[in-house]
Structure 1
Amino acid sequence: MPEVIFNGPAGRLEGRYQPSPEKNAPIAIVLHPHPQFGGTMNNKIVYDLFYMFQKRGFTTLRFNFRGIGRSQGSFDHGHGELSDAAAALDWIQSLHPDSKSCWVAGYSFGAWIGMQLLMRRPEIEGFISVAPQPNVYDFSFLAPCPSSGLIIHGSEDKVAPAQHVQALVDKLHTQKGITITQKIIQGANHFFSNHHDELIEECAAYLDARMRGELAETRPKRLR
């Protein structure tokens, strides 16, 4: 898996990149948890989501947000990190111009950034949000949410309590034209301690179903 350095808005960004042998393979970008609380692209959930996509033929990228590892810059409370994610997607698309679709996956803080990226980039056709924190971050920008996806969280999450995630899911369920799939890992906390394998298995099962054409409404392709 090649280590890569590419240009971001605040300087270079460090990533790990695995191209698919297929020229028109879909792209997946995976976003890590909060940079100020130990989040990096080598977080195990991020790492395993990366390989989940890679094993299914996606061209896959994970990277460190600004100020983490060899990525330059400093933490910017989400604004700069969203710009980092957009720059990462620009970079990988420049290498794979024949790829017509994209997925974004994010964990915790990364889920919030990923959902914002989804709003900005019409080529993103699916998302996986692991343990989003609507009790901490504002998700009102999802009006409407443009793509179908998975929201997965733990029943015993004290960082992002289940009732707050449920309220977000309920709001998204009222929107037409998309299908929001919710999975609750019983007994799991925010870090999915002792439930990591179950988390990845549920994400993989969802992605496999989407690749079979399930769990998403047929709708006109959005244009870039």
Structure 2
Amino acid sequence: MFNSRSIVAAVLATAAFAAPALAQSESSASFFRDDRNVRVAALTDPLILGRESPQTTREIMTDPTEQRPGTITIDTQNRYLYLSLPDGRALRYGIGVGRPGFEWKGVARVGRKAEWPSWTPPAEMLKRRPDLPRFMPGGIDNPLGARAMYLYSGGRDLLYRIHGTNEPWSIGEAVSSGCIRMMNEDVKDLYTRVGVGATVVVL
């Protein structure tokens, strides 16, 4: 349980379409599939500062969620994602969440995973934003970023994702349409630690 915190509706948010915030002098072709261009902190490292913002928010701490190891818990009010580890520890990452009107809470699971995923905006989003592309291949210009974990309930795709972002300034903000955003370095780390079938608790 989260001590003395009032956790309200949870949100998982699809990233808004925007210009990339990473290495603008690099072309997508030379950059986006080369993970060597993305620096990842060791668990014991302090925050690694990038050009204008931290490149990772990752911290190890006592697990406040009381969930089983391997469970992802999303605290949308405080804008943190926790991955429960053995021995009562957790990895905590900063996240961006959905804007008002796109809240939900419940339990889901990771139904599939993708590296440098392509993006097909859902019909509901295209109604709100007819200027969006109907399809975008994976890359640094893609709002899903470096990795995506697709959330399911039973056999149904909920159309919510935990994903990277090309808008690192949005971490800690409530600006998107339903998915959970993470820094690319953070989502790559989480991606290696959870498998298909992992439980996701949205508070």
TM-score, scaled to structure 1: 0.21
Higher strand proportion = 2
Higher helix proportion = 1
TM-score, scaled to structure 2: 0.23
